[in-house]
Amino acid sequence: MSGACGITFRAPHHHCPTSQNPNSTTPKIPVFPLPINTNKRFHPLCSSASSQTQKTENKNPLVVVGSANADIYVEIERLPKEGETVAAKRGQTLAGGKGANQAACAGMLDYHPTYFIGQVGEDAHGRLVTDALAQGGICLEHVKRVEGEPTGHAVVMLLGSDGQNSIIIVGGANTSGWPDPLPEEDLWVVRNAGVLLLQREIPDAVNIQVAKAANSAHVPVILDAGGMEGPIPRELLKAVDIFSPNETELARLTGMPTDTSEQIAEGISKCHEMGVKQVLLKLGAKGSALFTEGEERPIIQPIIATSKVVDTTGAGDTFTAAFAVALVEGKSNKECLKFAAAAASLCVQVKGAIPSMPNRKAVLELLQSL
């Protein structure tokens, strides 16, 4: 199916309700380049979702603002040494990027409407990502193409047989040419969300702007710490309700070791001092924990073990997105953690990021079997 922009989409499963600000006279999908303060020109991607039969949808949209990448996977036994070439057993290119992954996961978990706000290039990689998201019923009215920039991409090196990986990222359209300020249509969607989900593969200035828009409307903000290695601005941390790092990211933010439970507790306390209300800590094979300011003990969630681990690339994104879905559905913190753990357990059994995202039926069946 082709939209008016000439981009081909597979038919989404769900209808995306209008996201236009009723007080705005600006068209929902402008047919002209958006006004920006750079020399780049933007073209909104057209979603063909409006032609679909509407299915039952949730009241509050889940909005993801973040990155869209093409993930180039290579399976190798070991990393090459300096000056060395190694042969990969196989390779393939799949849709990814932390933002797109998390939006796709919400769609797979049957949370609709889910909106994705991001940028791609005018290239085949951009079409790869938007096709994958459209197939999952994600609302793409706020995805824009950046002229002169490639779609972000990543080289994912899968090492050995245990599913572990090393990743190199090229930012491309994720990091260049964002309009400043963001279009009011984008901010209006954020202010009307049930929850806002962010990561750090786009500029911090963009995250700060949308987080503040969410704050103004009392929309919960979740920030996945994955992405850029640079310091996280205090201005962003103070606008976040739930901060979700892994142990390495927690250590990087606080400048403190995270080798023991005592050291982790000290790092969490420092996060609270920085303005973070809750810390959703991903502990890998040790599970996860939710620390809430003012509460003496965290909520601990062990991993839900699986006998087969194929690829851990999308596990963190799946966990964070599943937690966000459960949260916006009104589940308790404990239920959110368990739902997220089940989704992540299923994710690691399949290769790829977006292709590995589990559906709601599989997650519920796993939970019922425990």
Q: Which parts are annotated binding residues for ATP? A: 246, 282-287, 316-317
Cα–Cα distance between 218 and 215 in angstroms, integer?
5
pLDDT tens digits, one per residue of 149-193 = 999 999 989 887 776 788 888 999 999 999 999 999 999 999 999
Q: What is the pLDDT of residues 76-132, one digit of tens each?
A: 999 899 999 999 999 999 999 999 999 999 999 999 999 999 999 999 999 999 999
pLDDT reported for residue 308: 87
Q: Is 223 strand, coil or helix?
A: strand
Q: Mind listing the pLDDT tens digit for each residue in 339-361? A: 999 999 999 998 878 888 999 99
- Please, which residues have CB within 8 angstroms of residue 45's CB and are 6 or more apart in sequence? 3, 5, 7, 120, 130, 140, 141, 143, 144, 145
CA pair distance 10, 222, nearest whole angstrom? 29
The amino acid present at 304, given as its one-letter code, is I
pLDDT at residue number 257: 95
Strands (E), 139-194: 143-146, 152-159, 164-170
Q: Would the pLDDT of 243 be above 60? A: yes
CA neighbours closer than 13 Å in the CB half-sphere of residue 101: 31
172 or 32, greater pLDDT: 172
Residue in this structure with the two tokens 């954020």, named with its chain if needed? 190
pLDDT at 5: 35
The whole-number pLDDT of residue 38 equals 33
Q: Is the backbone peptide bond immediately before 181 cis, with ω within 30 degrees of 0?
A: yes
CB 221 within 8 A of CB 241: yes
Mean pLDDT of the chain: 86
Q: Which residues are annotated as a binding site for substrate?
A: 69-71, 97-101, 201, 317
Beta bridge partners of residue 207, listed in sequence order: none
Choose the catalytic residue: 186, 204, 224, 317: 317
pLDDT in tens, 205-225: 999 999 999 999 999 999 999
Which pLDDT score, from 0 to 100, does residue 204 have? 97
Q: Give the residue-averaged pLDDT of 21-48.
A: 39
Q: Give the pLDDT mean for 242-247.
A: 97
Q: Percentage of residues in the chain with pLDDT exceeding 70?
A: 84
Residues in binding site: 69-71, 97-101, 201, 246, 282-287, 311, 313, 316-317, 347, 350, 352, 356
* Residue 349, both tokens: 């059994």
C-alpha distances out from residue 306 to 125, 256, 349, Å: 32, 32, 8
For residue 317, is pLDDT > 90? yes
pLDDT at residue number 3: 35
- Would you state the pLDDT for residue 17? 67
pLDDT band at 312 (very low <50, low <70, confident <90, very high): confident
**Cβ burial 111-122 (10 Å sphere, 16+ → b, else e):** bbbbbbbbbbbb
User: Which domains are delineated in the chain?
Assistant: 42-50+59-369 (3.40.1190.20)
Summarize the confidence of residues 129-145 as an average pLDDT: 96
Global confidence as pTM: 0.84
Known binding site for K(+): residues?
A: 311, 313, 347, 350, 352, 356
Active site residue 241: no
For residue 53, the model assigns a pLDDT of: 34
Give one word for 83, left, alpha or beta, with left for phi > 0 and alpha for psi -120 to 50: left
